[in-house]
Amino acid sequence: MAAIPVYFLHEEDFVWIPGILDSEDTVEQAAQKLAQHVVGLRVQERPGKRVGITLLEDSASEGTLLDPHRKVGETIEPLSVLKLVWI
Amino acid sequence: MLNREDWYDLATRVGWNFKYVKEEEVFPPEIAGRTSIPREVYEREYDAPYKVTYREYVKNQREKDLKVMAVKEAMSRGKLFEKLDPAYRALLQVHFGLIPLAEYGAAVAEARMARFGRAAEWRHLATFGCMDEIRHGQIQLLVPHEFVKYDPKYAWAHKCFWTEEWGAVAGRRFFDDQFLAADALETPLMLNFAFEVGFTNLQFVAMAAQAYGAGDYEFGTLTQSIQTDEARHAQIGVPLVSILIKHGEREKADYLVAKELWISFRLIQAITGTVMDYEIPLEARRMSFKQFMQEWIILQLERLIEDLGITRPWWWDQFIYELDYAHHSFQIGLYHWRFTVWFDYRGPTPEERQWLVRHYPDWEEKYGHIWDTMIKNVLDGHPEKTMANSLVVLCNTCQLPCCFPHPGKTQLYVSVHNGRKYVFCSEPCKWIFEQEKEKFAGQKTILDRLLMGEIQPPTPEGVLKYMGFDYPEEMGVDAWNHEWAKRYAHAAV
């Protein structure tokens, strides 16, 4: 298990925030943990929707939606730039 | 008795050539500034628009101080502070936290110019500038000192710059780059020209007007008095811009002006924009932050840039665009992360929200849903959810949260230097870093320090303690105890 620091932004939020991911978590588990810092605080729940993670090269790019079943340690490097999106 | 016009030039333009020492020993480039322009050119062509003699200075400053002290005394007797709106007091908390020790830093910068400026009149004016800034530091420590008995946050007038609170780090970065880490040729372009001519009109004149409107005659008189000094010593940089452009150093002038105008905008929209559009009582708001910027700042700046022949900064269109957004994003952040600052903010009431929409037509589309989420939490009995449970990413240049320009378009730019990743809130901030990498590369934001293991313990409590919060009473709270949000229970918005 390794701690992976990342920068992330929810697509409906206004500010980039840091997160610490567990390399052994799946992407889906990581998304849920990151969402706890945003959904219900600044962004409202969306019934029927869940949160996915997009990996960005920089914030101007569209990025790649990550496979929710893969492990964080296999797909996300330290200080990666991520966007949380409703899926 | 001679008139001032008969002797002023003779007295203020006294210079000489050196027989016993070399010029670079009198004006070492590391302190006086590196320039290819001969000193004789500075001596001959430096001509500031504002003239002052020592006799006039002493007389004028004495009168100003008497007036400020008289108003201060009257307000103290009337216990005015107790009658001020708690949200309005945020203006005082922010201002008095960030400004007083910065003024002392400016005195150092002015003193450097008073000794190492390459023209006699420049040195003459900087001497008064140094005395101005000492006055500003002292007076802006004296006034909030009386408020400490009401609220320990006013002790941050002296404490702030000695802490690692993230706003203090941003303030120090801003002022250090202009004052303490700059030479005598860089300071007048960055401090006097870009910041003082460009923006302090806003902070001091606008704040004075808003303060009077809110019934705070003490702060209004104080800031008005300070601005009269600023209007004088801000002129120090204007002749130097012309000299540099005329004599082959345009690139230096253009870069320093562009850098400092951008960083000044970041600072002003953060502290003045939020106060003007959210904390000043609605009935006291004479104009919006955007209106004031357009009428007082941008018009003046554009004219000045054209008159002096400065190249218009490449980021100008972004600056204009962000007037509709940047400070609104920052307001949410200062409220939601209020426990990390030393001042008390709040959200907009329904009536204030309508005012915001009138002045910023797509405010509701960009920001309404975020405020609605926090309002719902208050109305559902969970006001604690109006506070964040995380830190934020801070820009490695301006040190402010990466929250610009607005939701749906919030930017994060990345640069890698010597194996370390740096992040920025905008293209201009990234550009500034890349122009002076060696100067800025060693700096760490609070988040960097946490991730690098420098903050122990690495817990929320550890971070707050590291940032300098010794008592819970020092941390920001909701200025109205969520009353602004409760008004939505009965309002149709």
Q: Which residue, A28, A7, A1, is CA-closest to A83? A: A7
Average pLDDT, chain B: 94
pLDDT at A58: 66
Distances (CA, A) of B111 to B122, B145, B187, B491: 11, 26, 11, 56
Residue in A with minimal Cα distance to B328: A14
Q: Are A24 and A46 in contact (CB under 8 A)?
A: no
The distance of B346 to chain A (nearest Cα, Å) reads 15
CB-closest option in A41, A58, A79 to B413: A58
User: Over 70: is that where the pLDDT of A73 sits?
Assistant: yes
pLDDT digits (tens, 9 = 90+) for B165-181: 999 999 999 999 999 99
pLDDT at A50: 95
Phi, psi of B3 (to 5 degrees): -75, 155
Mean of the pLDDT values across residues B426-451? 96
The distance of B79 to chain A (nearest Cα, Å) reads 39
- The residue that leads in pLDDT, B324 or B211, is B324
Classify A30 as helix, strand or coil. helix
Q: Which residue, A32, A22, A19, A17, is CA-closest to A74? A: A22
Domain architecture of chain B: domains with CATH: 27-328+338-343 (1.10.620.20)
pLDDT at B317: 96
pLDDT digits (tens, 9 = 90+) for B38-76: 999 999 999 988 899 999 999 999 999 999 999 999 888
- The residue that leads in pLDDT, B208 or B400, is B400
HEC letters along chain B: CCCHHHHHHHHHCCCCCCCCCCHHHHCCHHHHCCCCCCHHHHHHHCCCCCCCCHHHHHHHHHHHHHHHHHHHHHHHHCCHHHHCCCCCHHHHHHHHHHCHHHHHHHHHHHHHHHHHCCCHHHHHHHHHHHHHHHHHHHHHHHHHHHHHHCCHHHHHHHHHHHCCCHHHHHHHHHHHHHCCCCCCCHHHHHHHHHHHHHHHHHHHHHHHHHHHHCCCHHHHHHHHHHHHHHHHHHHHHHHHHHHHHHCCCHHHHHHHHHHHHHHHHHHHHHHHHHHHHHHCCHHHCCCCHHHHHHHHHHHHHHHHHHHHCCCCCCCHHHHHHHCCCHHHHHHHHHHHCHHHCCCCCCCCCHHHHHHHHHHCCCHHHHHHHHHHHHHHHHHCCCHHHHCCCCCCCECCCCCCECCCCCCCCCCCEEEEECCEEEEECCHHHHHHHHHCHHHHCCCCCHHHHHHCCCCCCCCHHHHHHHCCCCCHHHCCCCCCCCHHHHHHHCCCC
Contact A9 B410 (CB under 8 A): yes
CATH class of A3-86: alpha beta
- The residue that leads in pLDDT, B208 or B353, is B353
pLDDT at A60: 67
pLDDT digits (tens, 9 = 90+) for B294-313: 988 898 889 999 999 999 99
Q: Which residues of A touch B449 (CB under 8 A)?
A: none
The model's pTM is 0.95
CB-closest option in A13, A18, A37 to B407: A13
- Which residue in A9, A16, A77, A81 has the most chain B C-beta atoms within 10 A of its own C-beta, making it the best mutation to test that interface? A16
Mean of the pLDDT values across residues B142-157? 95
Count of pairs with CB atoms under 8 A, one residue in A, one in B: 89
The distance of B278 to chain A (nearest Cα, Å) reads 18
The distance of B90 to chain A (nearest Cα, Å) reads 22
CA B364 – CA B421 distance, rounded (Å)? 35
- Which residue in B329, B334, B336, B370 has the most chain A C-beta atoms within 10 A of its own C-beta, making it the best mutation to test that interface? B370
CA B301 – CA B136 distance, rounded (Å)? 25
pLDDT at B204: 80
Q: Which residues of A touch B413 (CB under 8 A)?
A: 58-59
pLDDT digits (tens, 9 = 90+) for B80-105: 888 899 889 988 999 999 999 999 99
pLDDT at B99: 94
| pLDDT above 70 coverage of chain B, percent | 99
Q: Which residues of A touch B391 (CB under 8 A)?
A: 17-18
pLDDT at B286: 87
Q: Are A71 and A31 in contact (CB under 8 A)?
A: no
Residue in B with minimal Cα distance to A3: B451
CB-closest option in B370, B390, B406 to A18: B390
pLDDT digits (tens, 9 = 90+) for A25-66: 999 999 999 999 999 999 999 999 999 999 998 666 778 999
The distance of B389 to chain A (nearest Cα, Å) reads 6
CB-count burial class (<10 Å; 0-12, 13-18, 19+) for B372: middle
CB-closest option in B329, B390, B411 to A17: B390
| pLDDT above 90 coverage of chain B, percent | 84
pLDDT at B5: 85
CB-closest option in A9, A17, A41 to B391: A17
Average pLDDT, chain A: 95
Q: Which residues of A touch B369 (CB under 8 A)?
A: 12, 43-44
Close Cβ partners of B190 (under 8 Å, ≥ 6 residues apart): B177, B178, B182, B256, B257, B259, B260
pLDDT at B493: 47
CA B144 – CA B190 distance, rounded (Å)? 28
The distance of A6 to chain B (nearest Cα, Å) reads 10
User: Over 60: is that where the pLDDT of B492 sits?
Assistant: no
User: Over 70: is that where the pLDDT of B371 sits?
Assistant: yes
ipTM: 0.96
pLDDT at B345: 94
Interface of A with B (CB under 8 A): 5, 7, 9, 11-19, 36-37, 40-44, 58-60, 79, 81
Domain ranges of chain A: 3-86
